[in-house]
Amino acid sequence: MIVDEFDVFLFDLDGVIYIGNDPLPEAVKSLKFLRRNKKTIRFLTNNPCTTREKIAKRLKALGIEASSKEVITSSWVTAQYLQNENIKTVFVLGDENLKWECQQVGINIDDTINAEAVVIGWDDDLCFHDIKKSVQLINNGAKFIGTNTDRNFPSTEGPLPAVGAIVKAVQVAAEKIPVIIGKPYSYMFKKALENLKIFSRAVMVGDNSYTDILGAHQVGIPAILVSDKKTNRFPSARDFRNPDATIPNLKGLFDNNITIKKWISPCFSWTNDGVKAGVAGIIFDKSQRVLLMKRVDNGLWGIPSGHVEPGETVEEAIIREISEETGLKVKVNQLIGVYSDPVSQVFSYPSGKVSHFITTCFECEVVGGNLIKKGEETLDVDYFDFNYLPENILPMHPMWLKDALKKEKVSYIR
């Protein structure tokens, strides 16, 4: 039984424990069994329109044992984050619960002119003026914080818009990426697991692959999906959003016929920016030295590379990228390979974006231009002997060079 595999159970609320004012089938009984088996329980919700005390009271009214210390809400966690960052004044787009949590840790929510941060939750009375004010403050240097990015939430009327709709509106207008506190981001999970014994075996139980399952896997713990659908939604076996087990309701935790896979955290980051088309160009001089550039964004040496822009072929893209980065005009001689690796082809940027690239690599020949040693994207550009490449080189690039140097010119897909 799954229940025997773990000491700590983290539960989402809406769609797992209850919907609206009604408990879901088997939820009350299953939680009682867990208590009886001395399991540690935490309740996690991205709902910023409540407090820990209110959730505990709500659970007790449904016949579920719960204390406020076992409840982790996005409003409370956001306030904890603000306190930890020493932020004193905030402009809150949220209801009285989020504002109350901020005030409990000494944060001023009234001085909106000098606000150090904009915090976005949910309030049915939000208006365009609030969004406009938020964008102005963020553009003037205020930190941009969202309690969560949930697109919708379950209700008896069906899915309804959630906080993510407001976060996205401000993000588009301000052209800034927010710090997100709730699931699937790590801060909420780390708070939930705080002060628990290191050897405690923890598992997340939720109904949302994009928040509960993804979030648990990003912090390295297994995750169970509550769903009546038995098939996984995502084709790749390494997709962080695929659950380690699926149960129809919480009674499944005690079912001898349901097993859970062991989650082994991959050695690559999960992309939040999708899969992107990339290009790279290998240029040799007459001495068979290869042209490398030292990138501004990460300080590493690598083959000239970049993105495919809308309306471009991959050949047009690499010709443009090399010209922009090095000042050289090139022609494409041949395809070396098409490369996709979730470890070395995943890049994290200072903005917070994480992108996974599929890169088409070409061998190129210089036909004009003048070499620029330093530019907006480059710290240095130089030719290197293949046997004496710099140590701080991007991990995938030596393989591309080896493929380019093979006597028999074969195109690879890796």
**In this structure, what are the phi and psi dihedrals at residue 114, rounded to the nearest 5 degrees?**
-105, 25
In the three-class reduction of DSSP (H, G, I as helix; E, B as strand; rest coil), residue 319 is classed as helix
% of the chain beyond a pLDDT of 90? 76
**In this structure, what are the phi and psi dihedrals at residue 91, rounded to the nearest 5 degrees?**
-100, 120
Give the pLDDT confidence score for residue 409 in this predicted structure. 57
Q: Which two tokens stand for residue 291?
A: 């042209």
Q: Is the pLDDT confidence value at 304 over 60?
A: yes
Residues 213-271 pLDDT 10s: 999 999 999 999 999 887 668 888 889 999 999 999 999 999 999 999 999 988 888 98
Q: Is the pLDDT confidence value at 296 over 90?
A: no
Q: Is the pLDDT confidence value at 211 over 80?
A: yes
Q: Which two tokens stand for residue 156?
A: 């008896």
| Cα gap 316→306, rounded to integer Å | 12
Please report how many Cα atoms fall inside a 13 Å half-sphere around the Cα of residue 270, on the Cβ side.
21
Burial per residue of 328-353, b for 16 or more beta-carbon CB atoms within 10 angstroms, e otherwise = bebebeebbbebebbebbbbeeeeee
Q: Is the pLDDT confidence value at 414 over 70?
A: no
Give the pLDDT confidence score for residue 411 in this predicted structure. 60
| Cα gap 108→119, rounded to integer Å | 12
381 burial type by CB count under 10 A (0-12 exposed, 13-18 middle, 19+ buried): buried
Residues 81-124 pLDDT 10s: 999 999 999 999 999 999 999 999 999 998 888 899 999 999 88
User: pTM, whole model, 2 decimals?
Assistant: 0.86
Give the pLDDT confidence score for residue 351 in this predicted structure. 72
Give the pLDDT confidence score for residue 267 in this predicted structure. 84
CB 73 within 8 A of CB 121: no
Q: To the nearest whole number, what is the mean pLDDT of the chain?
A: 92
Query: How sure is the predictor about 274, in pLDDT bands with cuts at 50, 70 and 90?
Result: confident
CB 318 within 8 A of CB 362: yes
Within the chain, how many helices (H) and strands (E) appear? 10, 23
| Cα gap 8→242, rounded to integer Å | 20
Q: Is the pLDDT confidence value at 306 over 80?
A: yes
Residues 347-392 pLDDT 10s: 877 777 888 999 999 999 999 999 998 888 889 999 999 889 999 9
CB 254 within 8 A of CB 30: yes
Output DSSP code: residue 198.
Answer: T
| Cα gap 227→247, rounded to integer Å | 6
CB 303 within 8 A of CB 292: yes
| Cα gap 134→282, rounded to integer Å | 46
Q: Which two tokens stand for residue 164?
A: 């993510």
Give the pLDDT confidence score for residue 238 in this predicted structure. 87
